Amino acid sequence: MCYGLANVIKKKPYDNLFIHKKMSSVFGSGEISTSDEYLHEITGFIRVHKDGHCERLLGNNKLPAGIDSSTGVESKDVVISPETNVSARLYIPKSATSDRKLPIMIYFHGGGFVFESTTSAAYHSTLNRFTAELNVISVSVDYRLGPEYPVPAGYNDSWEATHWVASHSAGCGPDTWLNEFADFSKVFLAGDSAGANIAHNLAIRFGSDRIAGINLEGIILIHLYFGGNDPIGSELGKHKQLKAFTDQFWNLANPSGTGLDDPLFNPEKDPNLSGLGCSKILLAVAEKDSLRDRGLHYKELMEKSGWAGKVEMLESKDEDHAFFLFDQFSQNTSTLCNRICTFIN
């Protein structure tokens, strides 16, 4: 059952703490820093100082777990790996009862692999909303970030978190919520931007290395972050500069990899697309997003790959990258939530 957004969420005082600036793109003007003051700088997002420490300019407003007064959703933080300090924030709707198991949505946040977290105001409020609206148990994974922990650390952490979720399938895992309320026959990997990239690549891995105890029914990819050496679509024209700007995140997170044509970043170079380990994909793109054409290209690749599943697509008109994080009460955000809810349920 899908619960109407207006019925479960009231506006909260922190909704505007993560501000969507009125500019040509959510990525700003796309200007690339030429300053020699830092080892690396992605303007407006992250600075790597010469002593090696990172200064992240977004996602620093943190919110604690607890009961959300607007939705009734309850959240808590759990440690998945003491060795790597990987953790997750779990969310459960107030409607949860032990006699009706709920689908599981394992969510990976965005941030170009180098910033953001499960505890930031933008993601905590979004996961409260998703959990209430979709009527799911949400597991929001706090994977390690580059450049301190380069790719593939974030992928490996996310894979470990998925194994951790599966460890509850027999009802005797370390977390009581998953033991009591979760339906392991309906598991979805989801994420936005870099998190959507992670969700796709984990589904590829799942296709050849199944995790016992869970059925991966589908993946939800919102404004996915992919790229490649060769520009496509609008990257050849109006978004040429923004491609160069957004490519910086991958290069910073993966300095010793194979560059922009790494199969983790450019699915066209991945020979294993046909083995994607689920039966359906929900792909969400935004009309004004400089990454929109990467999403459309991904859809085309999957449909031509020989994969036997189905790709569903939603395009949000007149919206930019990750708009739903900035404006939780727009009609387009409501439409996105409703489409995800239908996909899951």
Q: What pLDDT does residue 169 have? A: 98
Which of 3.40.309.10, 3.10.20.10, 3.40.50.1820, 3.40.50.720 is the CATH number of 61-344?
3.40.50.1820
Token output for 336: 């996105």
User: What pLDDT score was predicted for residue 15?
Assistant: 38
User: Where does residue 137 rank: exposed (0-12), middle (13-18), buried (19+ CB within 10 A)?
Assistant: buried
pLDDT in tens, 47-95: 999 999 999 999 999 999 999 999 999 999 999 999 999 999 999 999 9
Mean pLDDT of 154-181: 98
Q: How far apart are CA 114 and CA 249, in angstroms?
A: 7
pLDDT of residue 30: 79
Q: Is 70 a catalytic residue?
A: no
d(CA 332, CA 327): 9
- The residues spanned by each domain of the chain are 61-344
Q: Is the pLDDT of residue 285 over 70?
A: yes
| Token pair 């993560």: residue | 18
Answer yes or no: are the C-beta atoms of 200 and 225 closer than 8 Å. Answer: no
Question: What's the N-to-C CA distance of the chain in angstroms?
Answer: 7
The neighbour count for residue 266, using CB atoms within 10 Å, is: 21
Helices and strands (H, E) in the chain, number of each type: 9, 11
Q: Are 197 and 107 in contact (CB under 8 A)?
A: no
Cis upstream peptide for 147 (omega within 30°): yes
Q: Which of 219, 215, 165 is nearest to 185 (CA)?
A: 215
CA atoms within 13 Å, Cβ hemisphere of 328:
27
pLDDT digits (tens, 9 = 90+) for 198-248: 999 999 999 999 999 999 999 999 999 999 999 999 999 999 999 999 999
> Can you give the pLDDT at residue 155?
98
Q: Tell me the pLDDT band of 10, cut-offs 50, 70 and 90.
A: very low
What Cα–Cα distance (Å) separates residue 125 from each residue in 4, 119, 130, 140, 181?
A: 16, 9, 9, 12, 22
One of 193, 290, 305, 316 is an active-site residue; which one? 193
Question: Counting Cβ atoms within 10 Å, is residue 333 exposed (0-12), middle (13-18) or buried (19+)?
Answer: buried
Tokens of 100: 């009706």
Least confident of 10-14, 78-82, 110-114, 160-164: 10-14
Percent of the chain clearing pLDDT 70 (strictly above): 93
Nearest 10 degrees: CA dihedral of 297, 302, 306, 307? Answer: 180
